[in-house]
């Protein structure tokens, strides 16, 4: 049985997907300034999962340009929704490969990757200080990163729901939806 944090992350993902059911590519690419568009949000969440749950624990970067196109601090983009969903599905499947192996003790660990892998990953600027090290250590432990990602999903679910309201979409779902009973 997965740890409660993994269950919560997967529930947050499912609410994000539920929020976006039935949205067209045109509407998903519409920007209400200063917000990003919905298709950007899908890719943005994939970028976070790629960094936290694929790169650091597995050393893989299935979509290396993703951070530059939808990452925090980069210029806004309006990518095609179908492309972003494909990337999101690819990355969350790869992330689940790691998440499915986690133990409670491992949630307290800080993951590391070699400096060359970090440099090749395109996740950020490699500083002179970093180059003097042999590896880059994650700034937060795995459990904190799971919580951060869960809360991040709910932030963007709310933002996407607000955008859909602005677009005049009728019959939007209520949040938070059906939840299984807590089993401790």
Quote the pLDDT of residue 176.
76
Positive or negative CA dihedral for 107, 93, 17, 88? positive
Burial class for 181, CB neighbours closer than 10 Å (0-12, 13-18, 19+): exposed
Q: Which residue has the higher pLDDT, 179 or 168?
A: 168
Positive or negative CA dihedral for 80, 85, 90, 91? positive
Quote the pLDDT of residue 130.
59
Quote the pLDDT of residue 138.
79
Tokens of 37: 């568009």
pLDDT band at 25 (very low <50, low <70, confident <90, very high): very high
Q: For domain 4-166, say whether CATH 3.40.980.10 is its number.
A: no
Tokens of 141: 């432990």
Q: What is the pLDDT of residues 108-167, one digit of tens each?
A: 989 887 776 766 666 665 556 656 666 777 789 999 999 999 999 999 999 999 999 999
- Range with the poorest average pLDDT among 25-29, 71-75, 142-146: 71-75
Q: Residues 6 or more apart from 81 whose CB is under 8 A from it?
A: 23, 24, 25, 28, 29, 38, 39, 42
Quote the pLDDT of residue 112.
81
Mean pLDDT of 3-25: 94
Quote the pLDDT of residue 111.
85
pLDDT band at 184 (very low <50, low <70, confident <90, very high): low
Mean pLDDT of 53-62: 90
């Amino acid at each position: 049985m997965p740890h409660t944090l993994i269950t919560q992350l997967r529930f947050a993902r499912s609410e994000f997907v539920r929020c976006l059911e039935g949205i067209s590519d045109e509407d998903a690419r519409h920007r209400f300034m200063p917000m990003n568009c919905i298709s950007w949000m899908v890719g943005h969440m994939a970028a976070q999962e790629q960094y936290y749950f694929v790169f650091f624990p597995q050393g893989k970067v299935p979509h290396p340009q993703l951070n530059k196109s939808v990452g925090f601090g980069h210029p806004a983009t309006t990518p095609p929704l179908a492309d972003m969903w494909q990337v999101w599905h690819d990355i969350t499947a790869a992330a689940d490969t790691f998440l499915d192996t986690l133990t409670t003790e491992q949630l307290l660990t800080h993951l590391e990757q070699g400096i060359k892998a970090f440099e090749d990953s395109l996740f950020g600027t490699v500083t002179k200080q970093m180059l003097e090290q042999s590896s880059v250590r994650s700034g937060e432990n795995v459990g904190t990163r799971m919580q951060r990602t869960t809360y991040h999903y709910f932030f963007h679910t709310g933002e996407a729901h607000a955008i859909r309201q602005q677009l005049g979409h009728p019959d939007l779902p209520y949040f938070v939806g059906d939840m299984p009973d807590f089993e401790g």
